[in-house]
Structure formats: C-alpha cells, structure tokens
C-alpha cells in the first residue's frame, strides 16, 4: 500500500480519538464545568449532529477545491475545534468547539476515502479504504483509553491539547505525503449533486444506515447488558470494550480484502454473519466466556461492513464521488443514532436486555434485503449498460 495512506490513517486516528474521547472524560468535564452528567452527555450528541450537518455543508464548500487542499483545510478546522475545546471556559463554548471539530469529520472521511481509492489499482481500492479506516478502529483501542488516562491524571483539557497535536502531525503528513497528481480536479457542486439522481447511490446510503444501525442497537447499551445480564464488573466491561475494539480492527481489514474480491456477495455474507451473531448473543450474554467470544466475533463482523459500504458508494458515484462519499459518512452516523433510538424504544417497551440483540438482528436482515435488492438491480441494468457501450463503439 502507498505511503500516503499512512497520513490518511493518522488523520483518521486523530479524528476517531476526539470523537470518542469525551465519553471517558464525562465525569471530569461535568465536574469542572459544573454541569450534570446528562448535560455533559449532550456533547456526544452535539458532535454526532455536527457530523451529520457538517458533512454536506463542507462537501459543498470544498466541491471546487483539489482534494488534497480540501483535506488540508479540513484538518485545519479539526485543529481549531480541538484547541477551542482545550481552552473552553464554560459548557456553551465547549459545545460550540465540539461542533466545530465535528465539521471536519464527515468530509475528511468522505474525501479521504476517494483519495485512498485513487492511490491504488481498482482491485485494491476497498483494502485502501480499509487501511485508512484502521486509524479509526485503533482510536477506539489505543487513542481513547490513552486519552482518558491522560485526562483523568492531568485534566481533560490536556487530553484535547494532545489531540490537537495529533491534528498538527496529521496536517503535516497530508501536506508532505498525499500527492496532487492523483486528483481528478474539481467537479463542482452541480456535477456532484447530479450523481445523486442515481437510485443506486441512495440504495447504497440506505444500506449504510441499516447495515451499521443494527450494530448500535446493542452497542449503545452494551454496558448494562454485560453488567446486568452477564454479571461483568465495570472493569470487566472495559476489558470487553477493548476486546470489541480489537475485533473492529481485524474486521476492518478483513472487510476490505473481501470487498476487493467480491463486493456485494461479501457484504451480504457479512450481514448474515451479523444477524447470526446477534441471535447467538441472546444466549451467550448470560455467561462470561461465551459472551466475550461473541463480542469479539461481533466486533469483527461489525466493522467488516465499513469498507464495502464505503466502496459501494464510491463505485456508484464514480463520476463525482466527493459528495456521495461524504454523505455516506453521515449515513453511518444516522445509523448510529437510529440504532440507539430503536434500542432505547425497545427497552422502554419492556423488551428484556438479553432480547435486545433480536432487534439488532432484525435490522441486519433489513439491510441484507436492501443489499440483495441493489445487487438484483445491478444484474438487471448490466445488459442495458453493455448494449449502450456496444452502440457507442459501433458509432
């Protein structure tokens, strides 16, 4: 894999760390700024909404920029947002700072995925995207625990200063390593928007919402499931989350390799695996070792969906992929929010915690059905495309 992918992976690591870091520091932030834990928790919600809203906005603003310049600008926004977090004197300013930092998230991953795919031959594009997203998975395994420990020891503001430093390193890496000659040039917002007329692009976005939404039906409530159903201690839950993060990292690489071989069949197989693992978790969640094995396998299956889902959008919007790829990052966050809402709704209607994985399995089956429909549409449209190409060649 080309060395510029390292710069993209480091950037993904920085962005992933700042996204999840606040969760480990909520009590410290709440205590320092004199707000309640639920109020501090809204800093997570604010970031997620900033990603969803900022992704298309930043995609529009950068639509006529060369991709390398756009990535540099987005890392600049990321650095500014995290410095603002480090110096925020009150809760309101910290919320604004979190939203500013989140604006870089969707567009960077969207444009970064397009750049990553352009750096390698076609048969390795999903693996290249997976390598960039490895930075995100490593953030959950390494960056967040390290940042949380630093924040608890030296103050939460120090943690954000360190993340800002990672942002500077990322900016230097993008500037020094990402080439310009792979840039296809600015397409313009109008051309990018026209790509959204293709129903396959919208099907791909829907596949992302459902495919990853099922994961968050259970992941949002994994702590109470493990503690109340499996009998884990709080420290045990932390170790399980690290195990889940290791699974995410392995699944990300596996998903990229499978997608390079056969994208849609691989994605359908992964979604079947997700549904099956969740069905099994309804039973294994009651015992520690079976639960640990299931959570690890679930992590592999969960993030194995990411490279093929991102690659599907890039492939279907190949003529102007920036906006569609960026919107797909927003679709992941919409899926996260939808999954969390569905899980909460089920619990509110007295669904037992050990039955919650059935809801996740149902969402994965819905994603499988949508993926199957998109694959059928591919097959149906293939003769039309071949006939169109033949007619142009004869002309």
Q: At what angle do helices 67-87 and 156-177 cross, to 10 degrees?
A: 170
Say how far apart CA 395 and CA 392 lie, in whole Å: 5
CB distance 235 to 284 below 8 Å: no
CB distance 109 to 15 below 8 Å: yes
Residue appearing with tokens 């968050």: 216
Report pTM: 0.75
Domains of the chain: 1-183 (1.20.1250.20), 187-381 (1.20.1250.20)
CB distance 293 to 244 below 8 Å: no
CA-wise closest residue to 9 among 244, 178, 205, 183? 178
Say how far apart CA 87 and CA 77 lie, in whole Å: 16
What pLDDT score does 386 carry? 47
pLDDT in tens for each of the 395 residues of the chain?
688 889 999 999 999 888 878 767 777 888 899 988 778 877 877 887 888 788 777 877 777 788 899 899 999 999 999 999 999 999 999 999 999 999 888 888 888 888 888 888 888 888 888 888 888 888 877 887 788 788 888 989 999 999 999 999 999 999 999 887 544 444 555 666 777 778 888 898 899 999 988 988 888 788 788 888 988 887 788 788 888 888 988 998 898 889 888 899 999 999 999 999 999 999 999 999 999 999 999 999 998 998 899 888 888 877 667 777 778 888 887 887 788 888 888 888 888 989 999 999 999 999 999 999 999 988 887 654 544 444 444 54
CB distance 32 to 185 below 8 Å: no
Structure tokens at 31: 């205590």
State the DSSP code for 317.
Answer: T
Say how far apart CA 41 and CA 161 lie, in whole Å: 21
Residue appearing with tokens 């995207």: 129
Count other Cβ atoms within 10 Å, centred on residue 273: 19
Say how far apart CA 15 and CA 133 lie, in whole Å: 11
Q: At what angle do helices 321-348 and 91-118 cross, to 10 degrees?
A: 130
């Amino acid at each position: 894999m080309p060395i510029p992918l390292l710069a993209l992976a480091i950037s993904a690591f920085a962005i992933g760390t700042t996204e999840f870091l606040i969760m480990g520091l909520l009590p410290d932030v709440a205590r320092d700024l004199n707000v309640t834990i639920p109020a501090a928790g809204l800093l997570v919600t604010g970031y997620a909404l900033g990603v969803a809203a900022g992704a298309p906005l930043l995609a529009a603003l950068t639509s006529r920029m060369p991709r390398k310049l756009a990535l540099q600008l987005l890392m600049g926004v990321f650095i500014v947002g995290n410095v603002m977090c480090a110096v925020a004197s009150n809760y309101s300013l910290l919320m604004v700072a979190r939203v500013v930092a989140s604006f870089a998230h969707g567009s960077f991953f969207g444009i970064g995925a397009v750049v990553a795919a352009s750096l390698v031959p076609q048969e390795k594009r999903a693996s290249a995207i997976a390598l960039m997203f490895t930075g995100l998975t490593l953030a959950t395994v390494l960056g967040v625990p390290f940042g949380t420990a630093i924040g608890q020891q030296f103050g939460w503001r120090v943690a954000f200063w360190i993340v800002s430093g990672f942002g500077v390193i990322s900016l230097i890496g993008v500037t020094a390593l990402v080439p310009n000659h792979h840039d296809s040039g600015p397409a313009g917002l109008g051309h990018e928007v026209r790509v959204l007329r293709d129903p396959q692009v919208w099907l791909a976005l829907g596949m992302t919402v459902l495919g990853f939404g099922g994961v968050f039906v259970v992941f949002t409530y994994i702590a109470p499931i493990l503690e109340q159903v499996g009998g884990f201690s709080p420290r045990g839950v932390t170790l399980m989350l690290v195990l889940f993060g290791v699974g995410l990292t392995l699944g990300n690489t596996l998903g990229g390799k499978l997608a390079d071989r056969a994208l849609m069949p691989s994605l359908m197989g992964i979604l079947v695996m997700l549904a099956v693992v969740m069905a099994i978790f309804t039973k294994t969640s009651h015992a520690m070792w079976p639960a640990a094995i299931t959570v690890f396998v679930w992590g592999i299956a969960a993030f194995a969906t990411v490279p093929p889902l991102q690659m599907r959008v890039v492939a279907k919007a190949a003529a102007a992929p920036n906006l569609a790829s960026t919107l797909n990052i927003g679709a992941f966050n919409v899926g996260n929010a939808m999954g969390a809402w569905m899980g909460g709704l089920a619990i509110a209607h007295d669904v037992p915690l050990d039955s919650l994985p059935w809801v996740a399995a149902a969402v994965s089956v819905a994603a499988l059905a949508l993926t199957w429909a998109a694959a059928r549409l591919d097959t149906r449209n293939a003769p039309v495309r071949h006939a169109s190409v033949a007619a142009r060649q004869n002309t």
